[in-house]
Amino acid sequence: MAALGGLSLSWSDLADLIRLRNQTGSLLLLFPTLWALVLASDGHPPLWLTVIFVAGVFVMRSAGVTVNDLWDRDLDRRVQRTRERPLASGRMQPRAAVAVFLALFGIATGLVFLLNPLTIALAPVALLLTVLYPLAKRVLLLPQAILGMAFGWGAIMAWSAVRNEIGWPAVGIFVATIVWAIGYDTIYALQDQEDDRRVGVHSAALLFGPWIWVAIGSALCAMVALLGLVGLATGLAWPFYVTLLLTAVLFAWQVHRIKRPVAPAQAFALFKQHIWAGALILAGFWSGVLLR
């Protein structure tokens, strides 16, 4: 058992709340941050900055899923995939989850104050996006765009932490991350189409209907094109474009697969493949910078 703010909660429930056993979301948040960190530092990111951003990504993703479960606990009880989450199932009280969120926020704040003043000034936007995303699915037809903003903001902060400015390459990575998130989170939403329709939650999977493969393909094509423009603007060497081509091949295969019905487990497997896409592009940025 752990004690937090006078509340007791089990380590198992805490691990389930912050998705400790599934770090796919953390990695998808981390990769755009690392892309910007590598590019801004010319392939030699300072170790201390790397440690701060890796730790910050883990903490903020944990805070994000915690506030998501707080907002969605009533909806989660009505969805097959999420009904056993700690808050939805009643294994954890909301006030305990609030205490966890505040503790995570305190850690994130401590990490941010190790950075320069510009990056500190940018940090509240990350918190705002983290809190707003769970609400976006109630009012926006394409809430994945807010998720992409939250995941891409790390790139803006990473660039500012290295260069003490907001550079155009970071903005390019930020926008590319938005459309990337629309693509992979729409794939993720394929798991819950019927439940989302029943409980009245908006998702891209419902918005695009039978044209979902076109929407995903368009989003992923835009992501590749935007990163290609970032590469051209920064003079990256040929290995970057090789990795970008390999990523495009993976995306094309996914779009072809989605043209046919996919089971929830298959949709989740396709979603997780985007970890490899992020890692491949990171290798491309690193080699492209070092060899230019």
Residue 230's identity, in one-letter code, is V
Mean pLDDT calculated for residue range 127-151? 85
As for how many domains the chain has, the answer is: 1
Q: Give yes or no for a contact between 190 and 264, defined as CB atoms under 8 angstroms apart.
A: yes
Instruction: Convert the pLDDT of each residue in 5-56 to its tens digit.
Output: 555 678 888 999 999 999 999 999 999 999 999 999 999 999 999 999 999 9
Helix ranges (DSSP H) in 78-211: 86-89, 94-112, 117-139, 144-163, 168-189, 193-199, 204-208
pTM of the model: 0.93
Q: Under 8 Å CB-to-CB from 182, ≥6 apart: which residues?
A: 142, 144, 145, 148, 204, 215, 219
- For residues 238 and 200, what is the distance between their CA atoms, to the nearest angstrom? 47
Q: Under 8 Å CB-to-CB from 172, ≥6 apart: which residues?
A: 226, 227, 229, 230, 233
Instruction: Convert the pLDDT of each residue in 172-218 to its tens digit.
Output: 999 999 999 999 999 988 887 766 666 666 677 777 778 899 999 99
Q: Which is more confident, 290 or 197?
A: 290
- For residues 206 and 49, what is the distance between their CA atoms, to the nearest angstrom? 40
Q: Is 213 exposed, middle or buried (0-12, 13-18, 19+ CB in 10 A)?
A: middle
- Structure confidence at residue 79 (pLDDT): 77
Length of the chain counted residue by residue? 292
- Structure confidence at residue 232 (pLDDT): 97
**Domain residue limits at 233:** 2-290
Comparing CA positions, the residue from 38, 63, 62 lying closest to residue 161 is 38
- For residues 83 and 76, what is the distance between their CA atoms, to the nearest angstrom? 5
Mean pLDDT calculated for residue range 62-71? 92
CB atoms within 10 A of CB 132: 16
CATH of the domain at 103: 1.10.357.140
Instruction: Convert the pLDDT of each residue in 6-15 to its tens digit.
Output: 556 788 889 9
